Amino acid sequence: MKTRHRVERDGQPKDLALRIHRALSWLDRADRSGEDNDARFIFLWIAFNAAYAREVGYESSQSERERFHAFLAHVVRVDAEKRVSDLLWQEYSGSVRVLLDNRYVFQPFWDWRNGRITETEYQRQFDGARRIITKALGSGDTLTVLQVVFHRLYTLRNQLVHGGATWNSEVNRNQVRDGTSLLGRLVPLVIETLMNHADEDWGSIHYPVVD
């Protein structure tokens, strides 16, 4: 993709070319993380963030999750080859299913443990999320499955980035391993989708290069 981007970037909108350049740089750094899945996950998330983050203004009422929800909807809409969809269905028996069944990357679990909601409410939400996934799978609703997956990945991201986990800790190896595996497959597809659809409006970037 880096070689392809060097060939195509002069013909891309300036913001998109920089967005892809930044995302590819962090993807490359993730690939050089070896067996350190904590570092690899963080670098992959930065690559994803570089791909989707856009300037929305201080008065925007959108949350971070709403912004990447909108971005994922855009990616799925233009993905005529159904590559993202194919990946989710192929992986569902593996890392996707395991991640969705892992309560430690389900934010209401922590809301219960921290006394914000009751155990009954946490369980109700967990069971409800399972029903949503089952219905989405039955109807081939790629976007819903993708968004729920990213809910889980976002919780894992918060744990790592905000110091809610110990580096290389034994207690969270499963979710870090599975989250890293899945993000490592999804992020390159997302970046390639941007490259394949350079004529789409992917928004203005945060922090443009200033001479």
Closest CA to 189 of 25, 76, 95, 100: 76
Tell me, what's the pLDDT at 71? 93
Contacts of 55 (CB under 8 A, 6+ apart): 203, 204, 205, 206
DSSP state of 172: G
For the chain, what is the HEC assignment? CHHHHHHHHHHCCHHHHHHHHHHHHHHHHHHCCCCCHHHHHHHHHHHHHHHHCCCCCCCCCCCHHHHHHHHHHHHHHHCCCCHHHHHHHHHHHHHHHHHHHCHHHCHHHHHHHCCCCCHHHHHHHHHHHHHHHHHHHHHCCHHHHHHHHHHHHHHHHHHHHCCCCCCCCHHHHHHHHHHHHHHHHHHHHHHHHHHHCCCCCCCCCCCCCCC
Residue range 132-188, pLDDT digits in tens: 988 998 898 999 999 999 999 999 999 999 999 999 999 999 999 999 999 999 999
* pLDDT, tens digit, 9 for 90 and up, residues 40-63: 999 999 999 999 987 655 445 567
Per-residue pLDDT tens for 183-208? 999 999 999 999 999 999 999 988 88
The confidence score (pLDDT) of residue 36 equals 97
